[in-house]
Amino acid sequence: MKPTVYEHFHPDEKPFVDRAWEWIERSAQQHELKRTDFLDPRQLQIVEMLANRDADVQVRFEGGYPDAERCRALIGPDYLYLEGEPSGLSVLEVQGASAGALSDLDHGDYLGALLGLGIKRDRIGDIHVNESFCHIIILDEIADYLNIHLRQVHRASVLTDIIPLQQLQPVVPELQEMTFTVASMRLDGIASDVHRISRTKIVDPIRAGRCRVNWKTEENPAVQLKTGDVISIKGLGRFKVLEEDGVTKKGRIRVRIGKFI
């Protein structure tokens, strides 16, 4: 790994960059096919950036459906037909043992139940919560274990089944839209309006490394946001910049935001 490569990444990302580079080197030099565990969008971006540096390697991302946020990467030598390789993904269907048992459960309840069984986060893909059932994308190798052992989510008794990827019913995240005007597209200014806390208080978690812009750690409160950016701050949640909608007569920018709920 050339030291100059690290310049493109946050210092906290160095361990993952090293690991990803090792995957790529092994594919190029030892002709190995690597199936990673689930990666978040920033990790996927890092893998793609590194793979593009080596002409002997190709990469495919698979999360179970076209708009998946968390995906596993298939990394292989350039001559391998990656599209023909199985993704190694399953769908765990969770249903309530009684009618209405799941109506009050959310994403965090299901994730907590899986982690409580000793499953690591990177073995779990996107979680799609419906009122009467939940579809969870998982790695094949843990499917049987979860199908046997997942019997409770929060206080609800549940039944499970493994179903084909083709039967997955994705849930589009709900966004609470809000529109306001800002003096600039600075991260701290927009985030303080979205979360309705002072700019002084919003700066602290940003500078402490608890903010991500497009899944990349961002510690600069003055960084400029743009349409399409996804911002998450630990403890406050996520929002997306949907649109910059012109300028008012006083020179302020109208911005439309979608807050994930």
117-157 pLDDT per residue, tens? 999 999 999 999 998 999 999 999 999 999 999 999 999 99
Contact (CB, 8 A) for 123 and 85: no
Do 139 and 181 lie in a common domain? no
Average pLDDT, the chain: 94
Q: Distance between CA 137 and CA 72 in Å, rounded?
A: 11
| Of 129, 151, 167, the domain-final residue | 167
Predicted pLDDT at 224: 96
Question: Does 69 score more than 80 pLDDT?
Answer: yes
Here the CATH number for the domain that contains residue 225 is: 3.10.290.10
Do 159 and 213 lie in a common domain? no
Predicted pLDDT at 230: 95
Name the CA radius of gyration of the chain, rounded. Answer: 21
Nearest residue to 235 via CA among 177, 187, 195, 182 = 195
Domain housing 133:
89-167
Kind and range of the H or E run holding 19 = helix 14-30
Do 239 and 252 lie in a common domain? yes
- Over range 254-260, report the average pLDDT: 95
Q: Positive or negative, the Cα torsion across 182, 188, 194, 196?
A: negative
Of 57 and 173, more confident = 57
Do 110 and 160 lie in a common domain? yes
Q: Positive or negative, the Cα torsion across 175, 112, 141, 17?
A: positive
Q: Could you tell me the pLDDT band of residue 6, with boundaries at 50, 70 and 90?
A: confident
Predicted pLDDT at 261: 81
Do 13 and 59 lie in a common domain? yes
Q: What DSSP assignment string belongs to 204-250?
A: HHHHTT-EEETTEE---TTPBP-TT-EEEETTTEEEEEEEEEEE-TT
Contact (CB, 8 A) for 39 and 121: no
| Of 58, 84, 110, the domain-final residue | 84
Angle between helices 199-207 and 187-195 (to 10 degrees): 120
Please write the tens of the pLDDT for every residue from 73-124.
999 999 999 999 999 999 999 999 988 889 899 999 999 999 999 999 999 9
Domains held by the chain: number: 3
Phi, psi of 108 (to 5 degrees): -65, -30
Q: Distance between CA 176 and CA 238 in Å, rounded?
A: 11
| Of 113, 133, 167, the domain-final residue | 167
Do 18 and 68 lie in a common domain? yes
- Over range 64-69, report the average pLDDT: 94
Do 205 and 255 lie in a common domain? yes
Do 56 and 79 lie in a common domain? yes
- DSSP class of residue 46 equals H
Do 151 and 218 lie in a common domain? no
Do 57 and 125 lie in a common domain? no
What CA–CA distances, in Å, run from 134 to 105, 159, 187, 201?
Answer: 10, 11, 34, 36
Read off the pTM: 0.83
Here the CATH number for the domain that contains residue 122 is: 3.30.70.330
- Over range 198-207, report the average pLDDT: 95
Q: Distance between CA 195 and CA 128 in Å, rounded?
A: 25
Question: Does 5 score more than 90 pLDDT?
Answer: no
What CA–CA distances, in Å, run from 194 to 177, 203, 213, 238?
Answer: 10, 14, 15, 10
Do 146 and 72 lie in a common domain? no
- DSSP class of residue 153 equals E
Residues 6+ apart with CB under 8 A from 237: 195, 259, 260
Here the CATH number for the domain that contains residue 37 is: 3.30.1370.160
Predicted pLDDT at 1: 54
Q: List the beta strands (DSSP E) in the chain.
A: 34-39, 57-62, 71-77, 89-96, 124-129, 133-139, 152-153, 156-163, 175-182, 211-213, 216-217, 230-233, 237-247, 253-260
Predicted pLDDT at 7: 78
Do 47 and 101 lie in a common domain? no
- Over range 215-229, report the average pLDDT: 94
